[in-house]
Structure 1
Amino acid sequence: MPHPRRSGREHPGTAGQAAVVLLAAASGAVDALAFAALGHVFAGVMTGNLALLGIALGGDRFADVVPPVLALAGFTAGTAAAARVCRVRTAARTPPGARWPVRTLACLACEAALLTCAAAVWAGCGAPPGGALRDVLLCAVAAAMGVQTGAMLGAGPAARPSTYLTGTLATFITRGVTGPPDDGGPGADRWVPVRLAALVVGAGAASAVLRGAPVAAAFLPPALVAAALLTALRPGGGRRVRTAASPGEA
């Protein structure tokens, strides 16, 4: 009787995990700056923005509708652009190992450039901008978060979410309580608490810099994304976990 073939589930190595941690910190920093200075909305947490949009529509201050709509529009455009560049539908074919696809790295480089341009405009204003310029920057940083999200999706199993972490937290809690799933997949990812902590630290750091040196605050996110990009370029020593193949593969 032939033995069933084995299939691999790819996991990012240490370098890939560390890069996602830095991206989570960048996401927290961008969200903190957007909420504090660009219209009291989030740049990367679209479920929160949808709730804020509903609150604005249900209230009597219809001007509050504009910021969440701009953030949603920017995030949608950024994600769509990254999805097209990274060819998200073929991300599952990512070869084993910790290195991310070249297209993912290119998207992250574009994100860093976009955030740097936004920071330059921010600094040129001498303080967080207002009026129409504030709306432009909000849309730009939301687009950058969309690019980051699409880039992580494009990396397939070689990466992890870095902007929306509610589902990640729920999965971590569930697998920590019940153990690995019946299909032999991995248990709770021990890097999840690190990514969540990085999100908090990034938001806290951005808030602190905004309070003490507002002109320089917007340069923190692109610096974190650049650090993540350099980290991802390092050999990470990815590993493969062997699991039983499905009946269709045997």
Structure 2
Amino acid sequence: MRGRERVGLLLLSAASGAADAFVFVCVGQVFAGVMTGNLVLLGASAAGAGEEGVAPRVVTALVSYGCGVAGAALVGERMWRRVPVMLLAEVVLLAAGAGLWAARPAVSDADRLGLLVLMGLAMGVQGRVRSTPTNYFTGTLTSLVGRLAVGAWRGDDGWTAGRLTALVAGAALAALTVRLWPEGGAMVAAALAVAALLVEVSAGPGRAAADPGNGKPRPDRGNPAGAA
């Protein structure tokens, strides 16, 4: 994997962390891209536990993410230079969410669900952009820690750890922005996605076409099971 591609994936990992942190803090105790966590929240809600009224938001997040994945799979596979096209779609969705939040922070349930739809769609698209995971990391973390425990550290595991660090950094940056500038809370994820798009476009058509970006996790990237 080339250095420029790795930079793009680090930026997308950070964007994922920023989007999830913003949605969890500002939209209402759900995630835009971590569907495992949302399924757990849905089960807890069905049993009468957890925050009141979280079930509609969880369902909205799940459906939106699924639609984003399906749309990227159906449309992206048929496009020339589909990676930058899908990244552009993600940027548009995140920018729309950031604009709506900045103009009028969501206060009603309808506003929050609408914002969640945009963020969930964007994270679903991102899940299909590259075969290397950038918004689901349980399998990545499991494989990394497992290799470390048995002394089987590989040369590219530092890069894998870097994606995990980028995820945390993106979440921290979004949370800090929400605290210091509430209206700009959703802009962090959008800005990071824009940066990833610029990196992708600057790479040229040759390399972009070389990676089909079919969204299937590769075993050599530490996520053999594709766990979310």
Scaled to the shorter chain, the TM-score interval is: 0.7 to 0.9
Gaps of 5+ in 1: 1-11, 89-100, 154-159, 181-185, 239-250
Give the Cα–Cα distance (whole angstroms) in 2 for the partners of residues 205 and 190 of structure 1. Answer: 22
Q: Does the 8 Å contact 2:13/2:167 carry over to 1? A: yes
**Structure 1 residues 49 and 175, CA, compared in 2 at 3 Å: closer, same or farther?**
same
Quote how far apart the aligned CAs of 1:234 are.
3.4
TM (norm. structure 1) is 0.75
Give the Cα–Cα distance (whole angstroms) in 1 for the partners of residues 96 and 18 of structure 2. Answer: 16
Q: Does the 8 Å contact 2:14/2:166 carry over to 1? A: yes
Show the counterpart of 2:161. 193
Show the counterpart of 1:135. 113
Quote how far apart the aligned CAs of 1:85 are.
2.1
- The yes-or-no answer on 1:117 pairing with 2:96 is yes
SS at 1:191's partner residue?
helix
Following superposition, which runs of at least 4 residues in structure 1 exceed 4 angstroms of deviation? none
- The yes-or-no answer on 1:59 pairing with 2:27 is no
Q: Specify which of 53, 57, 61 is matched with residue 71 of structure 1.
A: 61
Quote how far apart the aligned CAs of 1:224 are.
0.3
Show the counterpart of 1:148. 126
Quote how far apart the aligned CAs of 1:147 are.
0.4
Quote how far apart the aligned CAs of 1:189 are.
2.9
- The yes-or-no answer on 1:39 pairing with 2:28 is yes
Give the Cα–Cα distance (whole angstroms) in 2 for the partners of residues 48 and 148 of structure 1. Answer: 18
- Greater strand share, 1 or 2? 1
Quote how far apart the aligned CAs of 1:139 are.
1.5
Quote how far apart the aligned CAs of 1:229 are.
1.2
Give the Cα–Cα distance (whole angstroms) in 1 for the partners of residues 12 and 30 of structure 2. Answer: 19
Q: Specify which of 142, 163, 171 is matched with residue 135 of structure 2.
A: 163
Kindly report which structure 2 residues correspond to 1:219-234, keeping only aligned pairs within 5 A, or say none.
219-234=187-202
The share of aligned pairs that are identical, in percent, is 39
Quote how far apart the aligned CAs of 1:62 are.
6.4
Show the counterpart of 1:105. 84
Mean Cα deviation higher: 61-70 or 213-222: 61-70
Q: Which has the larger radius of gyration?
A: 1
Q: Does the 8 Å contact 1:35/1:41 carry over to 2? A: yes
Q: Does the 8 Å contact 1:111/1:148 carry over to 2? A: yes
Quote how far apart the aligned CAs of 1:116 are.
0.5
CA deviations over 1:150-204 (Å, ceiling 9, x no partner): 1224xxxxxx210001111122223343638xxxxx7653211111111111101
Q: Does the 8 Å contact 2:96/2:118 carry over to 1? A: no
- Greater helix share, 1 or 2? 2
TM (norm. structure 2) is 0.82
Kindly report which structure 2 residues correspond to 1:172-211, keeping only aligned pairs within 5 A, or say none.
172-176=144-148, 177=150, 179=152, 188-211=156-179
Give the Cα–Cα distance (whole angstroms) in 2 for the partners of residues 110 and 129 of structure 1. Answer: 26
Give the Cα–Cα distance (whole angstroms) in 2 for the partners of residues 222 and 41 of structure 1. Answer: 19
- For CA contacts below 8 A with separation 6 or more, give which structure has more relative contact order: 1
Give the counterpart letter for 1:17 in structure 2.
Answer: R
Q: Does the 8 Å contact 2:14/2:171 carry over to 1? A: yes
- In the alignment of these two chains, the number of paired residues is 203
Give the Cα–Cα distance (whole angstroms) in 2 for the partners of residues 147 and 82 of structure 1. Answer: 5
Q: Specify which of 24, 30, 54 is matched with residue 13 of structure 2.
A: 24
Quote how far apart the aligned CAs of 1:207 are.
0.5
Q: Does the 8 Å contact 1:26/1:225 carry over to 2? A: yes
CA deviations over 1:40-64 (Å, ceiling 9, x no partner): 1010000000000000001167622
